[in-house]
Amino acid sequence: MKGVDLVAQAKTGTGKTLAFLIPVFQRVINAQPELARRGGYRNASSEDIRAIILSPTRELAEQIGVEARKLARGTSVVVQTAVGGTRKKEAMYNMQRNGCHILVATPGRLQDILSDPDARVAAPNLQAFVLDEADRMLDVGFSDAIREILDLLPPVQQVDRQTLLFSATIPRDVVHLAKSMVKTNNFEFVQTISPEDTPTHERVPQHVVAVNGYENWFPAILEIAHKGIERASQDPSALPFKTIVFFSNTATVEYANQVFRRTSLGNRRFGIPILDIHSRLTQHARTRNADAFRRAKSAILLSSDVTARGMDFPGVSHVIQVGLPPDRDQYIHRIGRTGRAGNAGEGWLILAEEEIREARARLSGLPIQPNNSLETAKHVPGQDQASQEVARHFEEISQGYEAAPRRMFRAVYNALLGQKMGRYLRIEELIRLMNGWSSKGLGWPEPPAVPPKVAANRNLRGVPGVRIGHDQDDDEPRGFASSGGQGSRSGFQSGPRSGSRGGFQSGSRGSFQSGSRGGFQSGSRGGFQSGGPRRSGRPSEDPFASRFDRRDEGRGDRRFRNDTRPSF
């Protein structure tokens, strides 16, 4: 409010949106007091924008825009948004017709319109510039766009403005960015993470489930959902079941949406809303689905990582991560969607047994506990006898597979081929997992073909199990492989689990027993052990950068370092 530049380290979900909107509005209104009342000033112009707020994602920008318009009620301040995935001409028309005092934008779209002379968008008298989720912007490659935007804005030496930069972490690249933006002789660094504050990823319970293969992914999600819904119905103190399910790519999100809508969860009469958000949706569809999930008391949101940071969804009871997360930071950001503002929540990580060692390497030191409560995790379709409940879960997923176009699974197959392998997961293991999904899950006689060009680019020629070629574009439905046994249409045999390969006996393959293959026990080889000593935070020779060394005091950057405590 004093008008000094600010660099703030703040977690998501702590109310920082209002922390920057209020001073921005105050600064704009102080410069033009007639804006304080409705109808007091009607000459807003797209060529005289007074404040710019940058956000890394379309969803977060739209969310900030909604909050800004709420503050603008009763005033003459005009708020506009400009984000990728929407029609540029339509946004330009709205700004040119109605004017703009405060513009909320994504970096790519802002760079586009500021550099386009036909857009008639300019900020010669800019009074405030805000970067929200600065570390995320740099993570996704917006550094060049931000530098170009700064070049297109009036120099601070000529037109004074207040710069507010918010970031969950303060790594070196954020320090460099801040140095290029704020007045180095007149700024404040505020750290809102107190030594007593426990980060979400250390506070909420987190479970890891080892499944036999990718064909167990969807049944395991279905089982978690049914248990969560049942618990909420029986325990008045429990949160309604509201979950975000994260997948590593858009193709799997689209496929999961098709499959789960055909299950009991998607039943219009007895089910709950099933929504999806990913990069292939239009901005209108993404905003509509985000708003619907935000309003819902109980719902399932299937998502790529576009919602991993910044998006505020109240009442999320579960976060389910399917497959290896890209890295430790992204795992933590995903978990941060639950347990917000001190509320309860829990996290689930569903991994194939072959992915356990790689997960240990990426997620060492995190308080992730093994969980073998899911019966669907160890069932082998077509081979093991299954309880009625497990058979029902697999049968429902099978019906979803049958309804989904075959091309969608082919897209999933090829998308998974491009995932980060890491130190321990080999390409041969990934191929076996995906081929097992197609044969045991969908009942396909052969796996999807990999186009020759893709195989060459990814060095897949000669890898066992890879079928190089082209598939015909047919949509003949297939379900789970039939075992020929009595029982359901998909070949699930109902019966006792004792002695079965997919059972839960002590010492079974893939169990979480002491000394077991792929176990997560404390002290086991490669387990989720302590991540080593804390970073020392060496003093910087740069006096500006040294202002940020406080992040290594107390708990400052704890969210993104390995903890020194044992995991289990």
Of 428, 509, 414, 424, which is closest to residue 212 (Cα–Cα)?
A: 509
Domain boundaries, the chain: 5-191, 200-494
Q: Is the dihedral of CA 434, 440, 442, 445 positive or negative?
A: positive
Confidence category of residue 398, pLDDT binned at 50, 70, 90: very high
pTM: 0.65
Position 275, amino acid: L
Which pLDDT value is given to residue 182? 86
Query: Tell me, what's the pLDDT at 14?
Result: 65
Pick the CATH number of 200-494 from 3.40.50.300, 3.40.1380.20, 3.30.505.50, 3.50.50.60: 3.40.50.300
Tens of pLDDT, residue by residue over 44-76, are: 788 889 999 999 888 889 999 999 999 999 999
| Element (DSSP H or E) covering residue 190 | strand 187-191
Residue 435: band (very low, low, confident or very high) from pLDDT cuts 50, 70, 90 = very high
Q: How confident is the model at residue 13 (pLDDT cuts 50, 70, 90)?
A: low
List strands edge to edge, sheet with 346-352. 274-277, 299-303, 242-246, 318-322, 346-352, 206-211, 368-370
Strand partners, 8: 166, 190
Q: How many CB atoms lie within 10 A of CB 92?
A: 19
CB atoms within 10 A of CB 488: 18
Q: Are strands 102-105 and 51-54 parallel, antiparallel or unpaired?
A: parallel
Q: What is the residue-wise DSSP string for 35-87?
A: GGSTTS-----TTS--EEEE-SSHHHHHHHHHHHHHHHTTS---EEEE-TTS-
Select the more confidently predicted residue: 164 or 10.
164
Main-chain phi, psi angles of 191, to 5 degrees: -115, 115
458/269 Cα distance (integer angstroms): 46
Domains 5-191 and 200-494 share a fold: yes
169-193 confidence digits (pLDDT tens): 777 778 888 888 888 788 888 877 6
Distant-in-sequence, close-in-space partners of 483: CB < 8 Å, separation ≥ 6? 381, 382, 383, 491, 492, 493
pLDDT at residue 342 tops 90: no
- Residues 344-369 pLDDT 10s: 899 999 999 999 999 999 999 899 99
Joined tokens for residue 456: 């060459």
Residues near 257 by beta carbon (within 8 Å), at least 6 away in sequence: 274, 276, 302
CB 123 within 8 A of CB 46: no
CA distance 256 to 245: 10
Fold of domain 5-191:
Rossmann fold (3.40.50)
Asked whether the predicted pLDDT for residue 262 surpasses 60, the reply is yes
Residue 512 has pLDDT above 60, yes or no: no
pLDDT at 197: 61
Does 491 score more than 70 pLDDT?
A: no
